[in-house]
Chain A
Amino acid sequence: AQSVSQHNHHVILSEAASLELGCNYSYGGTVNLFWYVQYPGQHLQLLLKYFSGDPLVKGIKGFEAEFIKSKFSFNLRKPSVQWSDTAEYFCAVKTYNTDKLIFGTGTRLQVFP
C-alpha cells in the first residue's frame, strides 16, 4: 500500500531562517504530489502541487518544492520564514489513476519573531 512519511514532526525556527521539510512516499508508479497547510484555526489549504513537467514547483507565499523521482521525495522549502508561516504542513500523494489522497502525519512548524 502507498504511504507518505514526514520525518520532521515538530520544527522550531526563528524568523528569516531557511526551511526544509522532508516528504518521502512509497509507490513505484506515476504520482501527483501535494503540500497542504493548516494555519491555526483554519482549514486545510493547498500550498502547491506537482503533476508533471518541471520538478521544481513554486507555490503561494514563497514556498517551493522539488520532486526527486529517484529518491521518492518531495521536500518543501522556503528561504526565509516569517512568523505567519506558523502552521501544520501536510504532504500528500495521489497515484495517477485514482483520486485518493494519501497524507503524511504532518509537520508542525513554529516560527518565533
Chain B
Amino acid sequence: EAGVAQSPRYKIIEKRQSVAFWCNPISGHATLYWYQQILGQGPKLLIQFQNNGVVDDSQLPKDRFSAERLKGVDSTLKIQPAKLEDSAVYLCASSLVTGTSADTQYFGPGTRLTVL
C-alpha cells in the first residue's frame, strides 16, 4: 500500500514570497490533515478535511495560509506572504474515516520550509 506522498521535500524562499505544498493521501482515506512542526516542537494541526470539506481550521493563520482539497483527494497548502516564523516542516496525514476513535493517522515525509 502506497503511503502519503508530499512534494516538494525541501523549499527555501525569501520572506514575503509565496509557496505551495502538495499532498496525496493514501487511496480511499476520507480525512486529510495538515500539521506544522517547528524545530523542537511536536506537530500542530493546521487544518483537517473530510473529503473536500473543512472540519477544523481553528489554528490556521487565515491571513496568510490557505488550503484546499479539490475532489476530496489531493490537497494543497499555500502560504502567501511567508514570514520568517513559518520556517518549519509541514506534514500531511490521512486517515480512513473521521469521528471514529479507533482510526489511525498516517503521516507523509513532510516538506521542510526555510524562509530567509
B-binding residues in A (CB < 8 A)? 4, 32, 36, 42-46, 49, 51, 90, 92, 94, 96-106
Flag if B109 contacts A43 (CB, 8 Å): yes
Chain B interface mostly: loop
- Other than the known A42-B109, A43-B109, A49-B104, what 11 A-B pairs have Cβ atoms closer than 8 Å? A32-B101, A43-B4, A43-B107, A44-B43, A46-B106, A92-B42, A99-B48, A99-B98, A99-B103, A103-B44, A104-B42
The 9 sampled A-B contact pairs (Cβ below 8 Å) are A4-B42, A36-B107, A43-B4, A44-B93, A99-B31, A99-B98, A99-B103, A103-B42, A103-B44
Name the contact of B101 in the complex, choosing from A4, A44, A96, A104 (C-beta under 8 A): A96
User: With an 8 A cutoff between CB atoms, is B25 at the interface?
Assistant: no
What interface size band does chain B fall in?
20 to 34
Flag if A90 contacts B42 (CB, 8 Å): yes
Q: CA–CA, A98 to B107, complex, Å?
A: 18
Flag if B45 contacts A100 (CB, 8 Å): yes
- Mask, B2-26, CB within 8 Å of A = 1, is 0110000000000000000000000
Question: What are the 5 closest A-B residue pairs judged by CB atoms, nearest first?
Answer: A103-B42, A44-B107, A43-B109, A43-B107, A103-B43
Q: CA–CA, A106 to B39, complex, Å?
A: 11
Closest A residue to B50 by CB, please name it: A99
Min distance, Cβ B1 to any Cβ of chain A, angstroms? 14
